[in-house]
Amino acid sequence: MRTVALFGTPLRRRHSVVMHNAAFAAAGLDARYELREVDAAGLAAQVGQARLEGWMGFQITAPHKRLVMDLLDEIEPDARRIGAVNSVAAGPDGHLVGFNTDVLGFMAGLRACHGDDLAGRSVVVAGSGGVGHAAVYGLAAAGVGRLTVVDLEVAMPRGLAEEFAGFAEIEPMAFADPQVARRLAEADIFVNATSVGMLSPGPVVDVALINPAATVFDVVYIPAETELVRQARARGMRAANGDRMLVAQAATAWTRWTGLPDPTDVMSAAVAPLLASADLAP
Name the residues annotated as catalytic.
65
Q: Which residue positions form the known binding site for NADP(+)? A: 127-131, 219, 242
Nearest to 124 by CA among 238, 216, 240, 228: 216
Q: Which residue positions form the known binding site for shikimate? A: 61, 86, 102, 221, 249
CA atoms within 13 A on the CB side of 190: 30
- Going by the DSSP 8-state scheme, the letter that residue 200 receives in this structure is B
In the chain the first and final C-alpha atoms are separated, in Å, by: 24
Q: Which residue positions form the known binding site? A: 61, 86, 102, 127-131, 219, 221, 242, 249
Nearest to 204 by CA among 117, 100, 131: 131
110, 259, 271, 273 from 18: Cα distances, Å:
23, 20, 6, 10
124, 128, 172, 196 from 152: Cα distances, Å:
14, 9, 11, 12
